[in-house]
């Protein structure tokens, strides 16, 4: 998602610059092997606040060089960059980024200059990843960021991580802002079991199959959508989901004009119908309700069979039962089609 501006946000003062912590016991500042050591939780003492011993309150041990560091960046409000993320960006030898212009804007906001930026995007990730892995193995600190949120989640980074691991480079992560988690939290829906779908296929059988799978899933589903496809996706979901299925559509999260639309899929479809939405959106769809789907299907098929046996056309029977029972027409049609294909079926 796109990084935005924060009204009134200014740069942090020099007093907030990175403080270098003393090396952990058994390490030195000069040995190459020690410089590549990845800091682990058991190498420092921490209190309830998670502040390592030897560092100021609220400050974290900066990343050790010789590794690839995945860093989450703000999803809208630039003030959401964590202390550790800032320290990683300040101390990095190189920064891999999805869009150098957006990353340069973030760095400028925090007064970080003179960094080597390496473009890593969907078109070149496989080609540049071996070189990035080699940099880390040679002792350099390489930070990986996306335009916003956590890299590798519906953003470049996954291939880089896989190749880096295969090449034997150390990889770690600094958690932080994440639009999927933020939308799930604000939705109020069940977060104990959920599925993250990322962006849907744009068209064709893959899109249709994915949407049908989402509609039948009993888990909460989180997906991203571009603004110009939002209305179409809501329309598709409305045709596949039961009438009472709840959805939350969040946009501009953490920004001044944050907006969260709630209601049934049909209700939210109507709300967004006259809008000209801007910026990527996060959809949080309620899971298919109830555990008695098989019994419900059997009941629907019983009623469909009655109509088909009376000579009602398959499509007309599906429309009638969909209206009668308040289920998606596509579901009723699929069940009717299955009945018509059964051996010995007398339906016409």
Lowest mean pLDDT among 13-27, 68-82, 140-154, 280-294: 13-27
| pLDDT at residue 56 tops 60 | no
pLDDT mean over 82-108: 96
Token digits of residue 101: 């212009």
If you write DSSP's letter for every residue of 301-319 in order, what string do you get?
Answer: HHHHHHHHHTT--HHHHHH
Q: Average pLDDT for residues 322-334, to the nearest whole number?
A: 79
Q: Answer with the residue of higher pLDDT: 310 or 174.
A: 174
* Predicted confidence (pLDDT) per residue in 161-177, tens digit: 999 999 999 999 999 99
Task: Give the integer Cα–Cα distance in Å for 295 and 193.
Answer: 23
Tell me what the pLDDT averaged over the chain comes to: 82
Which of 31, 28, 93 lies closest to 63, judged by CA?
93
16 falls in which pLDDT band (50, 70, 90)?
A: very low
pTM for this prediction: 0.67
* 143 DSSP β-pair partners: 69, 95
Which residue would you say has higher pLDDT here, 235 or 5?
235
3-state SS assignment for residue 121: coil
* Backbone dihedral angles phi then psi of residue 303, each to the nearest 5 degrees: -70, -40
């Amino acid at each position: 998602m796109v990084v935005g501006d924060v009204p009134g946000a200014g740069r942090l003062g020099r007093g907030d610059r990175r403080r270098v912590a003393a090396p952990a016991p058994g390490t030195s500042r000069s040995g190459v092997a020690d410089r590549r050591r990845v800091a682990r939780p058991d190498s420092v003492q921490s209190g309830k606040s998670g502040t390592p011993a030897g560092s100021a309150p609220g400050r974290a041990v900066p990343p050790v060089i010789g590794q690839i560091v995945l860093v989450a960046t703000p999803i809208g409000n630039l003030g959401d960059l964590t202390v550790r993320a800032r320290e990683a960006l300040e101390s990095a030898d190189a920064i891999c980024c999805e869009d150098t212009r957006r990353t340069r804007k973030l760095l400028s906001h925090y007064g970080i200059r003179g960094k080597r930026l390496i473009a890593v995007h969907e078109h070149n990730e496989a080609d540049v990843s071996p070189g990035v892995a080699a940099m880390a193995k040679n002792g350099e600190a390489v930070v990986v960021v996306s335009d916003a949120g956590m890299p590798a989640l519906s953003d470049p980074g996954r291939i880089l991580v896989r190749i880096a691991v295969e090449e034997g480079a150390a990889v770690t992560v600094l958690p932080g802002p994440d639009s999927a988690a933020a939308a799930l939290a604000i939705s109020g829906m069940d977060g104990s079991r959920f599925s993250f779908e990322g962006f849907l296929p744009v068209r064709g059988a893959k899109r249709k199959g994915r949407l049908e799978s989402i509609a039948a899933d009993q888990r909460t589903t989180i997906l991203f959508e571009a603004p110009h496809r939002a209305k179409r996706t809501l329309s598709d979901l409305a045709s596949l989901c039961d009438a009472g299925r709840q959805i939350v559509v969040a946009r501009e999260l953490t920004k001044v004009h944050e907006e969260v639309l709630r209601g049934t899929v049909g209700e939210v479809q109507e709300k967004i119908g006259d809008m000209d939405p801007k910026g990527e959106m996060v959809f949080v769809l309620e899971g298919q309700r109830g555990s008695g789907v098989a019994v419900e299907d059997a009941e629907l098929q019983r009623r469909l069979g009655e109509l088909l046996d009376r000579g009602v056309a398959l499509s007309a029977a599906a429309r009638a039962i969909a209206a009668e029972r308040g289920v998606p027409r596509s579901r009723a049609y699929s069940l009717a089609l299955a009945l018509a294909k059964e051996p010995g079926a007398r339906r016409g």
